[in-house]
Structure formats: structure tokens, C-alpha cells
Chain A
Amino acid sequence: MNQIYNLFKKKNKNILCIYFTAGFPYLNSTVKIIEILQNLSVDLIEIGIPYSDPLADGMIIQKSNQISLNNGMNIDLLFDQIEQFKEKIKIPIILMGYYNQFYQFGKDKFLKRCQTSGISGLILPDLPVDIFVKKYQNTFKQYLLSMIFLITPKTCLSRISMLSKISDGFIYIVSSNSITGNVHFFFGKEQTSFFQRIKKLSIEIPKLIGFGIKDKKTFSISCQYANGGIIGSAFIQSLDHNNLEGSIEKYIKSIR
């Protein structure tokens, strides 16, 4: 069974999902970060595949992408690293990348490698829903892989309803219409009213809130309105290259 289903079956509150970029800060840091995060009882991990043109990402993730690519990270290597560590991974792992990476690597090869590496789901923010449904949905099901879609405060009701049916595992609620890592952003009235609106809808699929979650306060707000939250840029920024374990421990403990 897909690990994301298992997770939400066992626990549906206070889900902490951490995003980081593969190959950052070091080429071989990916598995080490997974290990530390799961020891700290993080519930879900989202690994970003570094990309030359990450359109939806702010400066912090862009920089980590560039450093990772300079370190020599590529998709094959990322799958190799995760595959070798597969037996020790106890929590669901999802990959986030851009459609061109998936398309260029080859759909079948990509999905097969997800399966052999124990990946549970994918986020491809620029993949149009109709193309997913037409070309990929059935294959995803065969490989027991979830495709996670995003909704934003500007997504209309009928589209929210459609996306929450097509999204698998959980749906990603983008807190504000923005790119990732807006440091000046605080959850205001606009966000809470959006979260309230979503909460009132009868969406059966679990919901995680992302974008703008950086500390205990914002994480607890996301847990109040959804099953939990996703932290990306703030986590990446907290990484101390010289003391990876210590910095991760300090950051995760500040959230919970």
C-alpha cells in the first residue's frame, strides 16, 4: 500500500512535512537528512529535484537548486541514493520537480525508478491536470504512486472540488498566491478566511498547508485548519553546513 495512505490512516493531525532540495548542501547529504528527519519523528518528506528553472520557487530554493546542480546532483543519482537507503526509510517520501524533468527522463523510467526507490508520490506544479488525467493517471495507479495537486486562494470552488478528487494521498493548499519562501509573509485574515472556506468544504482527501510556514505559530495554524503543514524554505535556510544534524534537530524541535 502507498505509504501516504498508511500515514493518514494512522495519524491525521499535526502532520509535519519537511521539504528540502536533493544534493544540498552536499551531494551526499540527501539520505543523511532523511535519516535525521525520521529520527526526529517528522511525518512526511518532500524532496525537491534540483532544476535550472524552478518557476514557482523563491530565492532560497532557487539557490539551493543551483548549488545542488553545481554539486553534480542529477535524477539518476538521486534515485540511486534513495534506493540504497530504501530499507531504512519508514516514512513516506514524495518528490517535487518540474514537468520537463519528468518528461525528459521518460515517464516509464521515472515511475519505475520511483517504485524501486520506495517513493510514494509526486508533485509537478506545472503539469496541467488534463494532461495528467489523459496521459498519466492510470500508470500512476499501476505504480501505486500518488500525484499531489495544489490549490490556491484564487482557485475557484468548482476547480477545488475537481482537484481534490484527482489529487491522490493529500491535497496541497498553497496559503497565498505567491512563490515559495516569502520571508515577509505572515498568515493574516486573508489566509485564515481561505483556510476556513476550505475547512467547510466536504473534501474527503487529507489536506496539508504549505508556503509561509516557518515557525511553531504558523505550523500550529496549519494544523488547526488542515491535517498539517509543509515547511520548505525556512528549513533549508536553517541548515548549518558545518553541523547538519545539530541544526536540523534545533529547527525541528522549535516547530514541535
Chain B
Amino acid sequence: MKYFVDQNGYFGEFGGSFIPEMLYYNITELQSQYKNIITSYEYRKLYKKLLKNYVGRPTPLFFCKKYSDQYNAKIYLKREDLNHTGSHKINNTIGQVLLAKKLGKKKIIAETGAGQHGVATATTCALMDLECVIFMGSIDIKRQLSNVNRIKSLGAKVIPVLSGSKTLKDAVNESIRYWINHPESYYLIGSTVGPHPYPQMVADIQSIISEEIQIQLTELEGVSFPNYVIACIGGGSNAAGSFYHFLDNNSVHLIAVEASGLGIKTNKTAAAIHCGSKGVLHGSMTFILQDQDGQVLPAHSISPGLDYPGIGPMFANLFVKKRVSFLHSTDEEALRAGFELTRSEGIIPALESAHALAALKKISFQKEDIVIVILSGRGDKDINVYNKFFVKLLNDESNI
């Protein structure tokens, strides 16, 4: 496990715990206890039971015949969109809420961009009877109103974030500030970002995805390692969970797809690896979009879940060590890929996942290659954005 966190909380030169003293106690409490708790028999048993009976795991590994013909490879979709609440996010919220309960916490705070993590957190808190406060940028609230209403109906409180860029980055800032003021609560980070131990902890919990891929692939193809695993990446939780069991096997090509917004040559992008530089954001050293003074620049992506100016520190290290290849897809490419999957397989992917699908066009496969694309979430939440685009495409027959 050479790409995992070291005993000081670093992935190579990235990660760490860059936090004000006011959070020191909470973070060290978590650092010292999480590993023992999440590896204990009692925890694993309960976690797996809930994933099976509540979340609906294992999620299918679906062979796409038409896609396979089109892209000249064996293409499978890992259907995280079929999880309860519609994305991979619930794996993490179940895992962390169980941990929070073990730590004796009564209140959960979380941030959300696309709303998927917010919905998953609120759902898990409803199930486990915990108070829940969700921070969401006011711009994202407008973009993802159906998820906001869902979060509220689940009994959670939504606090609109009006500071900074009013999107995911600032929702994280406000959650951290709230946590400083309410140290008795548990901060449930939704991605592989934040101070140590969050990046590794979220990856550990999400590793259920690659664990299942190995089992399913053995049944379907008689091998436990695919040739390619392709996942979209914002902070990195679905990519971390999908790459986890393959990191130490160099024969598996791991492809992370960033959201390049209007393009990596514009300033309307969220591609932190392609356009960012080394710096500290939300408690860890990683790659971020910033200016020469270290001011964090606003990210842009059509998918709110990828609209984040940083990337998890684990991935900054995987990029530097050249273990993961980083591609990028624009808003337009993602929309087209989303439309293509809808037409081809009858599945509307989340805009986030559509970025991963768009990368299929950018890789030359061999006919026998086994390719897994992670369908991290479903596109119902994005239907308004899709509809505008679909109408445009349908009206212009030459594009179909």
C-alpha cells in the first residue's frame, strides 16, 4: 500500500493537517481513533449489513454491449448510481456516521456541492437519529433545488453559504468555521479532502467500490484486475474508492478525469491538476487553483460536484508519482457523453460521471481490454441542465 498515507498524515509531499489550534483537539481525537474503530469486527459487520440491506449493495457491474462495439473494448459500468440516494456518497456517510456514533457525537455537520453528499448525509442522519446541519453555497442551492428540498424533508437544516464564491469551496470553509464554534459536533467530509485523517479515511470507506469490482470481474471475466479504471475527479472520493485495490498493480491503468469547464486554457475551469499548483486548501497540502499570492481562485464546472478548486492530496501524490493518468473533459464534452449514454444504454448519468464517460473518446483501447467506467451518480438531479442541452441537440438534427 505504498500510495497510502504515512504515519505523519502525508501522501508523499502532500496531505498533512494545516488547521488552526481551535481544531487541534477534534482532529487528533479522530486521528487517534478512526483506524481502530473502522477496522473493528463490530463496525465492519454493521457497515456491511447496512450497505447490503439499506444502500442496496453490491451495485451491478454492467457490461455495455453497444459501448463495447463503439469503443472497441469490453466496457463495463460500475453502477454507483443505483445506490440508495443515487450516488456513491452514501457509502461514506454510512461509514462516517457509524464512526461518529462510536465517538459519542450527537450532531453531524456536512457541506455539499451537487447536493448528493448532503442528501446522503441527511438520509443517514435520519436513519440513525442524529441532528444534521448541511452547508451549501447559495449558487449551488439554486442549481440543485430538488436536492435542497430533499435534504430539508429528511429533517436536516440547510444553511446557505453567502461568503466567497458561494459554491462548494466556501461551503467547506463555513463547515470548518461552524465546527470550530461547535467542537462537540462531528464534521462529515464528503470527499478525500481536508486535514489528515479525512483523505485516507474516506478512501478506506469508499474502497467497497474496488473490492466489489474485483469480485464481480472474477465472476464475469475470470480475472480480478481490469486493464482500465476510469473515474471523474473533483475532490476524489469515487476515484479513490474505485482505484483503491488496484493502486499497487501497475498493469491496471488508472484514469482520473477532471472537469475542465470551458477548457483548460480558460479561467473557467475546475481542473486543479492541469491548471493548479501546489498549495494548502482546507487543511491539506495539495494542488489548487490559485494566484501568485496564494488566493484561491473560483472553480467552474457545469457539474456542481466537480466545481472545486482543489483535489484530494492522495491524488496530488498519485499525479506526481505518475501512478494515475489525469485527463479532462469540458462541460460540452460531458453533456454530449451524458446524452450518448442516455441514448445508447438508457441510463442518464450524473453530470459528474458524464465527465468520466467523455474520456472514452480520448483513449485508444485494444479489443480485449477490460475497461471499467465508474458511474458515480445518476442524472435526475441534473435533468434541467440536460433538458436545455437535449432540446438544443434534438432541434439540430445534424448533431445527432
B178 to chain A, nearest CB (A): 9
Which residues of the partner chain B approach A182 to less than 8 Å between Cβ atoms? 181
Interface residue stretch chosen among A26-34, A99-107, A223-231, A233-241: A99-107
| Cβ-closest chain B residue relative to A55 | B176
Q: CA A69 – CA B19 in complex, angstroms?
A: 23
B294 near A100: Cβ-Cβ < 8 Å: yes
Q: Which of B19, B177, B281 contacts A100 (CB 8 A)?
A: B281
| Cβ-closest chain B residue relative to A50 | B295
Q: B16 within 8 Å of A by Cβ?
A: yes
| Cβ-closest chain A residue relative to B294 | A104
B357 to chain A, nearest CB (A): 32
The size of the chain A interface, using a CB distance under 8 A, is 39
Q: A177 within 8 Å of B by Cβ?
A: yes
Q: Could you tell me which residues of chain B, from 159 to 189, have a CB within 8 Å of some CB in chain A?
A: 163-164, 169, 173, 176-177, 180-181, 183
Q: A243 within 8 Å of B by Cβ?
A: no
Q: Provided the pairs A128-B18, A149-B21, A150-B20 are in contact, do residues A100 and B180 lie with their beta carbons within 8 angstroms?
A: no
Interface residue stretch chosen among A16-24, A85-93, A151-159: A151-159
A80 to chain B, nearest CB (A): 14
A174 to chain B, nearest CB (A): 7
Q: B299 within 8 Å of A by Cβ?
A: no
Which residues of the partner chain B approach A195 to less than 8 Å between Cβ atoms? none
Q: B279 within 8 Å of A by Cβ?
A: yes
Q: B54 within 8 Å of A by Cβ?
A: no
Q: A219 within 8 Å of B by Cβ?
A: no
A174 near B295: Cβ-Cβ < 8 Å: no
B20 near A75: Cβ-Cβ < 8 Å: no
Q: Could you tell me which residues of chain B, from 1 to 27, have a CB within 8 Å of some CB in chain A?
A: 16-22, 24-25
Which residues of the partner chain B approach A126 to less than 8 Å between Cβ atoms? 18-20, 280, 283
Q: B53 within 8 Å of A by Cβ?
A: no
B296 near A55: Cβ-Cβ < 8 Å: no
Q: Is the interface of A mostly helix, strand, loop or mixed?
A: loop
A128 near B16: Cβ-Cβ < 8 Å: yes
Q: Provided the pairs A103-B294, A178-B180, A179-B180 are in contact, do residues A154 and B22 lie with their beta carbons within 8 angstroms?
A: yes
Q: Provided the pairs A125-B21, A179-B177 are in contact, do residues A53 and B164 lie with their beta carbons within 8 angstroms?
A: yes
Q: B292 within 8 Å of A by Cβ?
A: yes
A162 to chain B, nearest CB (A): 12
Q: A51 within 8 Å of B by Cβ?
A: yes
Q: Could you tell me which residues of chain A, from 53 to 97, have a CB within 8 Å of some CB in chain B?
A: 53, 55-59, 62, 66, 69, 74-75
B21 near A151: Cβ-Cβ < 8 Å: yes
Q: Provided the pairs A128-B18, A152-B22 are in contact, do residues A177 and B183 lie with their beta carbons within 8 angstroms?
A: yes
B22 near A104: Cβ-Cβ < 8 Å: no
A55 near B20: Cβ-Cβ < 8 Å: yes
Q: In the complex, given contacts A128-B17, A152-B22, what are 9 additional A-B residue pairs having Cβ atoms less than 8 angstroms apart?
A: A52-B295, A53-B173, A53-B282, A99-B18, A101-B293, A101-B294, A103-B279, A104-B293, A154-B25
> Which A residues have a C-beta under 8 Å from some C-beta of B?
51-53, 55-59, 62, 66, 69, 74-75, 98-105, 125-128, 131, 149-152, 154-156, 159, 174, 177-179, 182
Give the 6 A-B CB pairs with smallest separation, nearest first. A104-B294, A100-B294, A125-B20, A154-B25, A100-B280, A56-B20
User: Could you give 6 example pairs across A and B, Cβ below 8 Å?
Assistant: A52-B164, A55-B176, A55-B282, A105-B294, A126-B19, A150-B22
